[in-house]
Amino acid sequence: MINIQSLTFSYRKNKPLFENLQLSLEAGHIYGLLGKNGAGKSTLLKQIAGLLFPDQGTCEVMGYTAAKRQPAFLRELFLVPEEFYLPKVSVKKYVNLYAPFYPNFDEAAFSRYLKEFEIPREQKLTEMSYGQKKKVLISFALATNTKVLIMDEPTNGLDIPSKSQFRKVIAAAVSEEKCIIISTHQVRDLDNLIDSIVIIDGHKIIFREDVQTVTDKLSFKTVSRMEEVTGVLFADSSLRGHTIITRNAGNEQSKIDMELLFNAVLTNHKPIQEIFN
Amino acid sequence: MQANNIFNFRRMQLYLQKHFADQLRFYLMGAVATFGLVTLIGILLVLTHNHFDKISDIVPFYYVGLFAGGLLFTSRSFNELAHKEKGVDFLLLPASQFEKFLTLFLISTIGFFLFYHISFYLSVNIVEKVQIAVNGLHVQNDYKFLSDPDEKVYVYYVYFVLQAIFLFGATCFHKYSFIKTVLCVLLFLFGLFLINSVIVTLLFGWKSEIWKSSIPFVMVHKMEVSGRLVHGGGSYLIPRWLLDAYAFILRFIFAPVFWTLAYFRLKDQEI
């Protein structure tokens, strides 16, 4: 569905953000795009949406060259940017103005999502807080039923109850035809939501695996004494003990700790990568 | 490529609706401000013992308003691109770049032109009525906008060329587009003047300082210098066929070229 080949891009000459980047994303998945600040998450999402053009290489989405921004491509893609614009109209008017551009827009689903987020439909967008506006935009994005849905830091600005509402709403909207990409640096917000992890660092994709594969090959545990375990790939200590990642030798099923995995991949990339190769 | 990826009537209609819903407040405020300003200035002049005997007294205001208003309005055509959030909304809305361009092109060219003329006509009528009430004077219609001489029509050609340049400028400069485009036009004209000066100096020499008295690439006025005395010499005008070629380019080439450049520049926008 999304096919990025040999993508090179830089904002400034001789300072490439991506060099020869390869990435292929399929429908039916929710991808979590993780990376440090400035790693290029938003830039990669913009490349996919056609808002930035590759210096070299190609970025094809659903068979379209993203940079051409053709209407047939745009009506099957929705981007929820971190900083977004909503016109000064009511929710109803917003839907009347924007929904006709999306042939698969589902009004009933939109109402359901708004209800889930506890947003009154008659309220004017100008009278809403940033978080409420974001929830309207997320609801609209999901209701468009586009094949590609991109969300850049969607949980920023959402309060704690809203974050769990967000997970619920996204989980309800996923389907075999859709490819959802969520970029975040708040990895815990995506717990139990994403089924595939893409980590971007140092100009390229350094990790791209399904959550199932990760839990098949790695074990996530909390131990009280580090001396009790061997073969620790990464550890993070806290008052509750030591959270560790080890190779999953005994085929045990453990719950993935996204933050731990992210830190492990960044600090101890080579041994982890060897396990997946 | 599918044809409807370039233009679809229904989509264009939807885009126009969306654009006007977004910009309605600005357009209404702009329209009221333009009409109000022109009318108010006219009425104030009448009330302060000035009077307009004939249309030719009003014409300078008309031309200044047309050029200043039209070019300022055109400069903010792609204002959305100056703001990241609005730019994303603008570029990712599922309408073609051609439909988006056409919307703004129609509004900034035909839309403004029509509005300005209706507004100015109404203002002049109101001012005349006030003038009749104050001192009983009618405004005589002594001015032909497109003839007498026929070359007056070139004012409108120049306006549309400048409008096209400012539309192109709006796609190049997202912030302070008007000022930056004015600077670019001035720099370009200064560059032409310099090139012309060099060529004229090479042809006629330094002494008579011909570069001071020439219309770049059109006419040279050669002064005769004898001793300390400088007296009028001859004028050298480019041939008629070249003048006609200039006129043709001004009338039919410049504006469409800059409109086309603006369209392609819009297609190349990144955020």
CB A180 within 8 A of CB A30: yes
In this prediction, residue B208 carries a pLDDT of 63
In this prediction, residue B234 carries a pLDDT of 77
Cα–Cα dist A48/A46, whole Å: 5
Interhelix angle A130-143/A107-116, rounded to 10 degrees, is: 150
76-105 in chain B: CB under 8 A from chain A: 83-86, 88-89, 91-97
User: What digits encode the pLDDT tens for the residues B187-205?
Assistant: 999 999 999 888 888 887 7
Helix (H) or strand (E) holding A57: strand A56-61
Q: Looking at per-residue confidence, does A189 or A6 come out higher?
A: A6
What's the average model confidence in pLDDT over B74-91?
96
Cα–Cα dist B105/B94, whole Å: 18
Residues from A in contact with B at Cβ < 8 Å = 46, 49-53, 69-72, 74-75, 77-79, 81, 83-85, 87-89, 93, 97-98, 100-102
Contacts of B16 in chain A (CB under 8 A): none
Q: Find which of A125-139, A187-201, B225-239 is predicted with most confidence, using mean pLDDT.
A: A125-139
- Strand intervals (E) in chain B: 214-215, 219-221, 224-226, 229-231, 235-237
Helix (H) or strand (E) holding A207: strand A204-210
Interhelix angle A107-116/A91-98, rounded to 10 degrees, is: 150
Beta bridge partners of A2: A25, A61
User: What digits encode the pLDDT tens for the residues B157-183?
Assistant: 999 999 999 999 999 999 999 999 999
Which sequence spans correspond to the domains of chain B? 3-203+246-267
Beta bridge partners of A21: A7
Cβ pair A74:B88 closer than 8 A: no
B22: nearest CA in chain A? Answer: A87
CATH fold of the domain at A2-202:
Rossmann fold (3.40.50)
Q: How confident is the model at residue B225 (pLDDT cuts 50, 70, 90)?
A: low
Does B244 have pLDDT greater than 90? yes
Cα–Cα dist A36/B137, whole Å: 75
Which of B11, B14, B85 has the CB atom closest to A83's CB atom? B85
ipTM of predicted complex: 0.92
Q: Which of B18, B26, B92, B93 to mutate to test the interface with A (most CBs of A within 10 A)?
A: B92
Q: Which residues lie below 8 Å from residue B239, measured CB to CB, with a gap of 6+? A: none
In this prediction, residue B148 carries a pLDDT of 80
Which of B8, B21, B95 has the CB atom closest to A89's CB atom? B21
Cβ pair B95:A85 closer than 8 A: no
Q: What is the mean pLDDT of chain A?
A: 92
Percent of chain A topping pLDDT 90 = 71
Q: Which residues lie below 8 Å from residue A27, measured CB to CB, with a gap of 6+? A: A1, A147, A176, A177, A178, A179
The angle formed by the CA atoms of residues B179, B183 and B184, to the nearest 5 degrees, is: 120
Q: Cα Rg for chain A, rounded, in angstroms?
A: 20
Secondary structure class of A136 (helix, strand, coil) = helix
13-42 in chain B: CB under 8 A from chain A: 14, 17-18, 21-22, 25
Cα–Cα dist A55/A58, whole Å: 9
What's the average model confidence in pLDDT over B94-107?
97
B25: nearest CA in chain A? Answer: A88
Q: Which residues lie below 8 Å from residue B88, measured CB to CB, with a gap of 6+? A: A51, A79, A81, A84, A85, B271
Cα–Cα dist B41/B120, whole Å: 12
How far CA A77 is from CA of A70, A104, A107, A225, in Å, comes to 11, 11, 17, 49
In this prediction, residue B203 carries a pLDDT of 83
Beta bridge partners of A149: A78, A180
In this prediction, residue A203 carries a pLDDT of 81
Contacts of B82 in chain A (CB under 8 A): none
Return the DSSP state at B251: I
Cβ pair A53:B4 closer than 8 A: no
User: What digits encode the pLDDT tens for the residues B12-55?
Assistant: 999 999 999 999 999 999 999 999 999 999 999 999 988 898 99
In this prediction, residue B13 carries a pLDDT of 96
Cα–Cα dist B59/B183, whole Å: 27
In this prediction, residue A126 carries a pLDDT of 87
CA distance B214 to chain A (A): 44
The single-letter code of the amino acid at A227 is E
Q: Looking at per-residue confidence, does A38 or B113 come out higher?
A: B113
The ranges of chain A annotated as CATH 3.40.50.300 are 2-202
Which of B2, B11, B91 has the CB atom closest to A51's CB atom? B91
CA distance A137 to chain B (A): 12
Give me A73's structure tokens. 């491509």
Q: Looking at per-residue confidence, does B220 or A20 come out higher?
A: A20
Distance of CA A245 to the CA centre of its chain: 23
Q: Looking at per-residue confidence, does B115 or A221 come out higher?
A: B115
What's the average model confidence in pLDDT over B70-92?
96
In this prediction, residue A123 carries a pLDDT of 84
Give me B206's structure tokens. 């330094």
Neighbours of B186 (CB within 10 A): 10
In this prediction, residue B3 carries a pLDDT of 54
Contacts of A89 in chain B (CB under 8 A): 21
In this prediction, residue A48 carries a pLDDT of 98
Cβ pair B95:A100 closer than 8 A: no
Does B1 have pLDDT greater than 50? no
What's the average model confidence in pLDDT over A252-274?
90
Establish if B9 touches chain A: CB-CB under 8 angstroms.
Answer: no
